[in-house]
Chain A
Amino acid sequence: MNKLSFEENLEKLEALVKKLESGENSLDEAVKLYQEGIALAKICHEELKNAEEVIVKLMDSDNLVDFNKE
C-alpha cells in the first residue's frame, strides 16, 4: 500500500511532526496526527532495519576483494 520511498516517508513524517509541534491542532487532529506519525515512523524504522540487514549480509558474503595481476 505504501509505495513511497524511505525519504518520502521521512519527509512526510517531518511535516507531520512540525504540524504536531505547532500545537495548533484540535485533540482529535493531534491524536490522528500522532497515530499517523507512529505508523510512518514504524515504516521508516522497518526500512532502515531491512537496509542494514541487506548490507550486513552483503558484507559477510561478498566481501569486495582487491586483486592483482597474474
Chain B
Amino acid sequence: MARQYLTVTALNRYLKFKFDNDTELQSVLLKAEISNFKRHSRGHLYLTLKDDQSQISAVMFVSSTKNLSFNPKDGDKVIVEGYISIYEAYGTYQIYIQKMDLDGIGDLYLAYEKLKEELSKKGYFDQSHKKSLPRFPKTVGVITSPTGAAVRDIINVINTRFPMTKIIVYPALVQGPMAKESIASQIKKANEDLLCDLLIVGRGGGSIEDLWAFNEMVVIDAIYGSKLPIISAIGHETDFTISDFVSDFRASTPSHAAEIAVKNHREVRNDIIKIEQRMTMALNNLYDNALKHYRQIINRNVLKNPLRLLETKELKYAALYDRLLKNNPLNQIKQRNDLVEQYLKNLRKDYQYLVSAKQKNYLSLVEKLELVNPLNIMKKGFAIVKQDGAIKKHFKEISRDKPLTIAITGGEITSKIIDMKGEENE
C-alpha cells in the first residue's frame, strides 16, 4: 500500500484547522510569567509566557491592548485569556492573548471580575443612574479614615480651592474586616443627616487587599442607594474598585476628588468677572441698539416735519373744495333763471300779439257801433221818445195820461200829451 506524501503547507493547514476547531483551545486561561517582551511599532505585543518548566510564544494584537490596565514587562506574573492557533508560515503555534492582567491576586481578582460583571448586568453602573454633581456644594461630606493622608489631602485641597466650603468628616475604617460595614453605615448616616450636598468616599493607595472593602456588596449597595451624589477616590490612578464604577464620579486620588468637588475660587472669581463683563457689554449693546433705533425714528421725515402729515390731506381737501365750489348750484340757478326769463319774454310777446288782435277787432266793432250810435242818428234830426224811462218805439206803447220825455240832440224835453191820433190802417 503506497503511502501518501503531504506538502508542508497542507500539513500546517491541517493542523491549523484542527487547532481552530478545538473548543478547548479556543478559550484558554493561563497563569504565567512574561519574558522576551517586545512591543511592535504598530502596537502589537510579542512575548513569551513561561513557568519554571515550559514556555509558549504569545502575541497580543493592538486591538486587544486597549483594555490593558498595566504596563507589561519581563518578569511580570500575569493571568491571560486567549486562544491557541498555528502560524502557518513558520509552523509554530502560539497563544493569541485577548485579555491580560497582573496575577498575584488570585481568587480575589476572579471574585472581583465576577461581581463586576454581575452588577454591570444588573445596571449598577448605568450612566442613567448617575447623579450630577452640584456646581457649588456648600458642605462636602468626607467618608474616610480620619487619620489617613487622604482626609488631609481632601481638606487641604478644598480649603485652598474654595475655602467657604464646609467639610464634615464621617470617620470610617477603610481597611480590615470591619471596614465595609463602617463605610456603608457612614454613607447611610450622611444620607440621613442630609447636611452635605456631596460625598467623597475613599482612601489612599494600598494593595488590592487593602482596597477590598470597596469591592464589597454592602458598600456598593450603600453607594448605589445614596441620594447624595458620591465621588469615589480609592487608591491611586491605576486602582479600580467596583465602588468606582458604581459611584457618580470616579476620582483617581483623594486630592483629585477634592478638585472635582469644588471649583478654584480664583477661577470662579474670574468667571464672575467675565460674566460681569459680558453683562455690561450686553447691556451696552442693548443700549446702543436702542439709541440707534431711537435716532432712526426721530430722524424720520414725518417727525422732523410733522406738518407734512397734513399736506396730503390738505391737498385732497383743497381739490375737493375747489370741485365743490365749481359745482355751485348758482350756475344752475342762473340757467334756470334765464330759462324762466325766456319763457316770460315769449309769454309777453304772445300776449301783446293777442291784445293787438283783440284791439283791432274792437276798433272795427267800435266803428261799426258808431254807425248805429243813436246820437249820430239824432244828429240827423231824429228824437227819442221815452215814457217811464223806457224808449217807446210804437204809438200804441204810449199812454195819453203820462208825461212824455223827448230826447233830442242838445237836451231832453218833458211834455204833456195834448192830442193823440194813430194811423188809420194800423
- Dominant SS among interface residues on chain B: helix
B317 near A66 (CB under 8 angstroms)?
no
B306 near A66 (CB under 8 angstroms)?
no
A37 near B306 (CB under 8 angstroms)?
no
Residues 296-337 (chain B) with a chain A CB within 8 angstroms: 298, 303, 306-307, 309-310, 313-314, 316-317, 320-321, 323-324, 327-329, 332-333, 336
B316 near A48 (CB under 8 angstroms)?
no
> Cα distance A41–B324 when bound, in Å?
9
Q: Which residues of A contact B328 (CB under 8 A)?
A: 34
> Cα distance A45–B325 when bound, in Å?
14
B323 near A21 (CB under 8 angstroms)?
yes
> Cα distance A59–B313 when bound, in Å?
19
Whether, in the assembled complex, B295 has its beta carbon less than 8 Å from a beta carbon of chain A, the answer is yes
Q: Which residues of B contact A16 (CB under 8 A)?
A: 324
User: How many chain A residues touch the partner (CB < 8 A)?
Assistant: 28
A20 near B307 (CB under 8 angstroms)?
no
> Cα distance A30–B330 when bound, in Å?
10
Q: A3-38 toward B: CB 8 Å interface, digit per residue (1/0)?
A: 000100010011011001100000100110110011
A20 near B313 (CB under 8 angstroms)?
no
Which listed residue, A21, A38, A55, touches B310 by the CB 8 Å rule? A55
- Dominant SS among interface residues on chain A: helix
Q: Which residues of B contact A20 (CB under 8 A)?
A: 324, 327
B324 near A13 (CB under 8 angstroms)?
yes
Q: Which residues of B contact A48 (CB under 8 A)?
A: 310, 313-314, 317
Decide yes or no: A38 and B324 within 8 Å by CB, A27-B329, A27-B333 being known contacts.
yes
Which listed residue, A17, A31, A44, touches B329 by the CB 8 Å rule? A31
Q: Which residue of A lies closest to B304 (CB)?
A: A64
> Cα distance A34–B333 when bound, in Å?
12
Q: Closest CB-CB distance, A53 to chain B, in whole Å?
A: 11
Q: Closest CB-CB distance, B317 to chain A, in whole Å?
A: 5
Q: Closest CB-CB distance, B327 to chain A, in whole Å?
A: 4
Q: Which residues of B contact A21 (CB under 8 A)?
A: 323, 327
Q: Closest CB-CB distance, A16 to chain B, in whole Å?
A: 8
B320 near A10 (CB under 8 angstroms)?
yes
User: How many chain B residues touch the partner (CB < 8 A)?
Assistant: 23
Q: Which residues of A contact B320 (CB under 8 A)?
A: 10, 13-14, 17, 41
B332 near A27 (CB under 8 angstroms)?
yes
Q: Which residue of B lies closest to A14 (CB)?
A: B320
B307 near A44 (CB under 8 angstroms)?
no
B309 near A55 (CB under 8 angstroms)?
yes
Q: Which residues of A contact B295 (CB under 8 A)?
A: 66
Q: Which residues of B contact A27 (CB under 8 A)?
A: 329, 332-333, 336
Q: Which residues of A contact B303 (CB under 8 A)?
A: 64
> Cα distance A6–B312 when bound, in Å?
13
> Cα distance A58–B291 when bound, in Å?
22
> Cα distance A66–B304 when bound, in Å?
12
Q: Closest CB-CB distance, B256 to chain A, in whole Å?
A: 49
> Cα distance A56–B307 when bound, in Å?
8
Which listed residue, A34, A55, A58, touches B324 by the CB 8 Å rule? A34
A6 near B327 (CB under 8 angstroms)?
no
Q: Which residues of B contact A64 (CB under 8 A)?
A: 298, 303
A55 near B323 (CB under 8 angstroms)?
no
Q: Pull 7 A–B residue pairs with CB atoms less than 8 Å apart, ordered by A.
A: A14-B320, A27-B333, A41-B320, A51-B310, A55-B306, A55-B307, A64-B303
Q: Which 6 A-B pairs have the closest CB atoms?
A: A30-B329, A20-B327, A37-B324, A55-B306, A17-B323, A64-B298
Spell out A's residues near B (CB within 8 Å): 6, 10, 13-14, 16-17, 20-21, 27, 30-31, 33-34, 37-38, 41, 44-45, 48, 51-52, 55-56, 58-59, 64, 66, 69
